[in-house]
Amino acid sequence: MKQKDVKMKTIFNQRVVILAGKSSSTNIVYNALKDDFHIECIILEDPVKKVEFLKKRIKYMGFWRVSGQVLFKTTIAKFLEIYSKKRISAIHRENKMDDAALPKELVIPVTSVNDDKVISLLQKHHPAIVVVNGTRIISKKVLNAIDARFVNIHAGITPKYRNVHGAYWALVNNDFENCGVTVHLVDPGIDTGSIIYQSCISVTRQDNFATYPSLQLAKGIVYLKKALNDIFDGRLVTKKRSLESKIWHHPTLGQYILNRLMYQKK
């Protein structure tokens, strides 16, 4: 077989589809993978409408708690995001994280990752791996639509810090050994899939709620690449950890202030 044919055969057997939400982290993930893996396409879902999101959240968590979360996100979280721009840029620069725009020819917009259109696209491109980033919870129907591994970077150490802001909550709990990131297989649960790699992050005095996700993404991309290579090389090993399993949510304004005061006393 000619060298060119061997190369094409390898690419054909190592197709990757990115299934993601619209965010700078999706851009960073794509740009980190594009030179080492064959990206077939990027299926990009629309964000959930804010009114719809808030209605569901209020039904699940209650009006006052959700109001506190909104207050936190629109005040302290927004301030920290602006205040930390230089630090976030430094993290991106040090880790060669590129958030350049996605190539238009690869992007396929969808309303939701659980649309029938997504199943058709996955079956059409038939990737060996689907890299997931920042989407809704993916249904069993989609996960079972093709014989592929769905892989995700989670910003927390699972199962102890599932859902959101795993590094922040670990630090609030003084749980430094579980302040990190997980690369895992995706199942229908909330960050309950089998663990492929986990690693802690190093937090400095320059870091805060707004910078932790960048530190986690930088570390996560390193292990995402390792996980993809493990799958393609047929040496994937997963594990389960006997840690307390808990779902965490956005802090409310009151929670953040109280946690900050308590942390300063330690």
Specify the range with the lowest mean pLDDT, choosing from 2-11, 28-37, 93-102, 212-221.
2-11
* CA pseudo-torsion sign 99, 219, 133, 86: negative
pLDDT for residue 16 is more than 60: yes
pTM of the model: 0.92
pLDDT of the residue at 41: 97
- pLDDT for 8: 38
Question: Alpha helices, DSSP H only, in 137-252?
Answer: 140-143, 166-172, 212-232
Q: How many CB atoms lie within 10 A of CB 252?
A: 20
Question: Which one-letter DSSP state was computed for residue 187?
Answer: -
Mean predicted confidence (pLDDT) in 134-144: 96
d(CA 219, CA 180): 8
- CA dist 30 and 105 (Å) reads 13
Tokens of 244: 């307390």
In Å, the largest CA–CA distance within the chain is: 68
Q: How far apart are CA 191 and CA 179, in angstroms?
A: 16
pLDDT of residue 262: 75
The tens digit of pLDDT for each residue in 62-119 reads 999 999 999 999 999 999 999 999 999 999 999 999 999 999 999 999 999 999 999 9
Segment 178-188 mean pLDDT? 97
240: confidence class by pLDDT, cuts 50, 70, 90: confident
CA distance 143 to 61: 28
Query: What is the model's pLDDT at position 13?
Result: 64
